[in-house]
A and B are shown apart, each in its own frame.
Chain A
Amino acid sequence: MSETAAITASMPEKTPATVIELQAVHKWYGEFHVLRDINLQVAKGEKVVVCGPSGSGKSTMIRCINRLEEHQQGRIVVAGIELNADVKNIEAIRREVGMVFQQFNLFPHLTVLQNLTLAPIWVRKLPKKEAEETARYYLERVRIPDQADKYPGQLSGGQQQRVAIARSLCMKPEIMLFDEPTSALDPEMIKEVLDVMIGLAEEGMTMVCVTHEMGFARTVADMMVFMDRGEVIERAPPKDFFSNPQSDRTRSFLSQILAH
């Protein structure tokens, strides 16, 4: 899976398959129009970074992709499966889509290892031993192999977020969603999490990240998406996006976020 992604990434002349597609997606919270006519295509192996001021709907958008939020109009197709009210479809998509949250959301009553093996055992029906081997492999990958038997509450924020990433990876997802993964972290821990994410990107994982880490965006993004007031205002490769933003709103956002 990641192998094919790596191949497609190295052969840009061939158009890779679209794995996430949003078509004219609208969503309302009561009367409030949070998502307005969102159109987005993400190809296999592509890394999309979504940014925008708070309240712009970027989190809502990314959470629609795995149905943590329900859209009311438009079409969302993920990994070839259309999102609709069918619980089977929703669960099928969630198996293929990993998600990392701002607040980590590790399960505090389970050890790190149990956090990692829970879904593979219960959802993928893997034997416990195999699930634990996979879990240890990914703990190694996020560079905390020796914390397997601790509880999440005993780890630092950065370690917890890396466990959360490993937990998602244990499901061998095709797509990873990151919803402000570093926003709740102390400054000195941001880098350790970003490093893991960069490593993941280099391996060809399809990623959609909501983040304000513009340095990270420059490094890994194939495409920048800027959202404001529920709309996609601008979408461009990072080179153009940072050096030559087309919209005023993008420009003012970038000047604010890059000023300090």
Chain B
Amino acid sequence: MADIAQDIPVATQAPPRHSSGALGWLRANLFSSVFNSILTLLAVALIAAVVPPVIRWALIDAIWSAPNGAACHGGGACWAFIGEKLRFILFGRYPIDQDWRPIGVVVIFLLMILAACDRRLWGRRLALLWFFGLSAVWILMAGGILGLSSVETALWSGLPLTLILAVVGMVFGFPLGILLALGRRSKLPAVRVICVGYIELVRGVPLITVLFMASLLLPLFLPAGVTIDKVLRAQIAFILFAAAYLAEVIRGGLQALPKGQVEAADALGLSYIQRTRLIVLPQALALVIPPLVNTFIGMFKDTSLVVIVSLFDLLGAAEFALTDANWQGFAVEAYVFVAVIYWCFCFFMSRYSQLLEREFNRGRRR
């Protein structure tokens, strides 16, 4: 120490030129070796071949307004079709004079999702907010009270239907999944067998068959005159399906938790419920955020499968819009448009989960 202190301190120097700055970055990251340089050049060539035509098609040559389909066939995309069909793709067969209601539903959903993203609100208040939000969604969509005209669920379609199926599926599937995951690790054999049986059964069949069974087979077993609404049936199928998948993801987190955590909680005299709520779940769930979000994203997109039981979600409504005889041949535009909407929601989930992971891990591990 003494030697060093007596020495003249080494002045702070700028890093050598070739290792910093734009040129240094290029050399280090793109041309560090012959192989790397070849890859870089190939990648540049690929980008040059693909991007300009896409931009030309989507923007430069695109037709933004046209009176009908025939006038809209040029070299580029026909966004006039989307403009023409926007209302139908978003809200489908919902009564056209009631448009403000599905708009309201989408706004309520977005607000609820944003509120759920704020960790300070997590707890009883958020649960209450969601209870009222979902009630409002139901009232707006179905009507029949508060002077709103009644709209049967068969007409629910487009983005509101997609959001209802996905969000309600997650909100109810998630707690059910937690219970299943805990049940699967229960000391009671009966509970364990039921949970394992349920998870393996539901996970082992395709969602499409579950939807089919829920909408076609279930009514056969119900007594005459008793009907369960079609959307409700699909919704229940989604919840049950989501729960089984989420249960396995959550079980992964439960198993990754060191045994000492449970022992420490036990030694302090916490009950099973307290231990699970305060010690086990907060850590187990934080551990499995990436696969949880993976499952959520998958579920969000799986809602498009309800088309096969003649419900028109976002994708179904878009496909239906393609059948207009006046506007033929714009499938690509429709799919691109729908894909962008799906992508926005999924990308949001992905980004938010990364933020959450960072927040949960702050200061935890060295």
Which residues on A are within 8 Å of B, measured CB to CB?
Answer: 66-68, 91, 94-95, 97-99, 101, 103, 105-109, 118-119, 122-123, 150-151, 153-154, 167-168, 171
Contact = CB atoms under 8 A, between A and B. Distances in A.
Closest 5 CB pairs of A and B: A105-B264, A119-B268, A105-B260, A94-B269, A99-B267
Contacts of A97: 267
B60 interface: no
Given A68-B267, A107-B279, 5 more contacts: A101-B263, A108-B364, A109-B282, A118-B268, A119-B268
A109 B286 contact: yes
Given A119-B270, A123-B269, A123-B274, A106 B364 contact: no
Interface string B267-281: 111110010001100
B359 to A, nearest CB: 11
Contacts of B264: 99, 101, 105-107
Contacts of A118: 268, 270, 278
A33 B270 CA distance: 30
B350 interface: no
Contacts of A108: 283, 364-365
A119 B274 CA distance: 10
Contacts of B364: 108-109, 151, 153
Nearest to A93: B269
B360 interface: yes
B206 interface: no
Contacts of B282: 109
A109 B268 contact: no
A153 B366 contact: yes
Interface in B272-306: 274, 278-279, 282-283, 286
B266 A167 contact: no
B263 A154 contact: no
Nearest to A154: B363
B20 interface: no
A226 B264 CA distance: 26
Contact of A154 (B260, B261, B366): B366
A99 B279 CA distance: 17
Contacts of A123: 268-270, 274
24 contacts: A66-B267, A67-B266, A68-B263, A68-B266, A91-B269, A91-B271, A97-B267, A103-B258, A105-B263, A105-B264, A107-B261, A108-B283, A108-B364, A109-B283, A109-B286, A109-B364, A151-B363, A153-B364, A153-B365, A154-B363, A154-B366, A168-B267, A168-B268, A171-B268
Contact of A98 (B266, B267, B365): B267
A94 B270 CA distance: 9
B269 A105 contact: no
A105 B261 contact: yes
A150 B261 contact: no
B68 to A, nearest CB: 60
Nearest to B360: A109
A154 B366 CA distance: 6
B52 to A, nearest CB: 50
Contacts of B260: 101, 103, 105
B269 to A, nearest CB: 4
Contacts of A122: 270, 274, 278
Contacts of B266: 66-68, 94
Contacts of A171: 268-269
Given A153-B365, A154-B363, A119 B269 contact: yes
B283 A95 contact: no
Contact of B269 (A68, A95, A106, A109): A95
Contacts of B269: 91, 94-95, 119, 123, 171
A23 to B, nearest CB: 23
A150 B363 contact: yes
A94 B268 contact: yes
Contacts of A106: 264
A98 B265 CA distance: 11
A165 to B, nearest CB: 12
Interface string B337-366: 000000000000000000000001001111
Given A109-B286, A122-B278, A153 B268 contact: no
Contacts of B261: 105, 107
A94 B283 CA distance: 23
Contacts of A103: 258, 260
